[in-house]
Structure 1
Amino acid sequence: MSAVFDNHAALPAARRSLAPPAPSFSAWLQGLSAGLPLAGGLRQALDDFLREMPGAGAPVLQSRVDMLLARAEARAAQRRVQELEAELARMRELVCEDQLTGSLNRRGLAAVLDRELARAARSNSPLCVALLDLDDFKKLNDTYGHCVGDAALKHLVRMAKDALRKTDVVGRFGGEEFMIVLPDTPLEDAISAMTRMQGALRSRPCLHDGTGVPLAFSAGVAQYDTGDEQETLVARADAALYRAKRAGKNRVVSA
């Protein structure tokens, strides 16, 4: 227990000046305990006090002391549990978050996709997955440096979150590649959403030293088919992305 009496210098004076009748001793002891500083010698201090106080009814009083101690320990344990729960929640967020962009990382995306696949199968609702890849990202890094490359990745995530619905989920799949999970979205609407994102990215370039750095991405989109596993759906989106790259970049291709 972290909270115990800090010192018990007040106890000798209390012994001399206070001698409450046994029936009211519980309330008196509670008041005394509340008024003393907390740290290391609570049990010893109270034990000494009880031994030296005449007519206190030691067994009854000791039981009361034990109960007070148990309550304090329970409160301390409850606080510790709450602290641990908060820390675990924070760690879960860190484990599932890409530290550069603040979007989900691959682990977080997998959890979201598992959930949405189960929901789509259960409710027979449409579900699409898009894989995006920034075009000419290596050239961007070579021309402007990796700091600008990092800024471009963060800019793409901001643009995606602005352009998409609250229910859509964006995450970094790896490197300059991103995944977007679009629940309750048929294929045509998912393609339109990616096209809108491309337009938004053209109209709001990434800024570097006050100058706009143009960005573009290619995207492959796949819709969930009954029985699809996560790997199957993602593989079809990835194949569509590959075709978009081969077709000239800055394109959206469906599986």
Structure 2
Amino acid sequence: MKRTAIVTGASSGIGRECAVALSGAGWNVVLTARRESALRETGSLCPSPDTCMVLAGDVTDEEFVKRLFRETISRFGRLDLLFNNAGVNSPAIPFEDITLEDFQNVMSVNLVGPFLCAREAVRAFKKQTPMGGRIINNGSLSAHTPRPMSSPYTASKHGMTGLSKCIALDGRAFDITCTQIDIGNAATPLTARMEKGVLQPDGHRMPESTFDVAHVASSIVYLAGLPPDVSVPHFTIMASKAPFAGRG
């Protein structure tokens, strides 16, 4: 039986690249994000578009998330992988100027959404035969070390670390594994600004190195293909010259 993956935030960037790579590796892939037209474009890029399912919606909407997993199981019979990739950032502004609305929005998309999706994945993993499955959560280098003026995003990614550890611990007896993949400066439209300069802790701006997002996709395919008796709790992939060790 073909394995089945759900990829959130699959409309562009890392999510799109990973969904296409999983499809190329023989997976059924369920694509979800808010923009249906962009999701369909992702689906058209998949080597096996007939084994891709598009379902647009908001991962912070509990009822949508339940429907996402229900329709995935109905279409493909089981679930083997959830890639919790969807995420947002907020403007780099002084801490005292951050609005409650902006803070809550980042926490909702980056932490509540992954919780809702992981909860439904765990429910599915426990019910199916053979039992089990894999969750990969998109963390960030900011899950370890912050950038200046990044409180909402950094807090959400530190929260993701705790969530990932709890999923791995609570899922251990049920052949459920959880990996947090921390990605630094993968080249996507969102990182194009890095070539012009990124604010550093000492106050100056410096261009930062990026790397081909295809390497993230190949990493996801590798992690997804591991047998259930192998767990990778943490996986960091980054541009070799990106400032991380010693950042701050």
Q: Which has the larger radius of gyration?
A: 1
- For the criterion TM > 0.5, the same-fold answer is no
Name the structure where helix makes up a greater proportion of residues.
1
Shorter-chain TM-score range = under 0.3
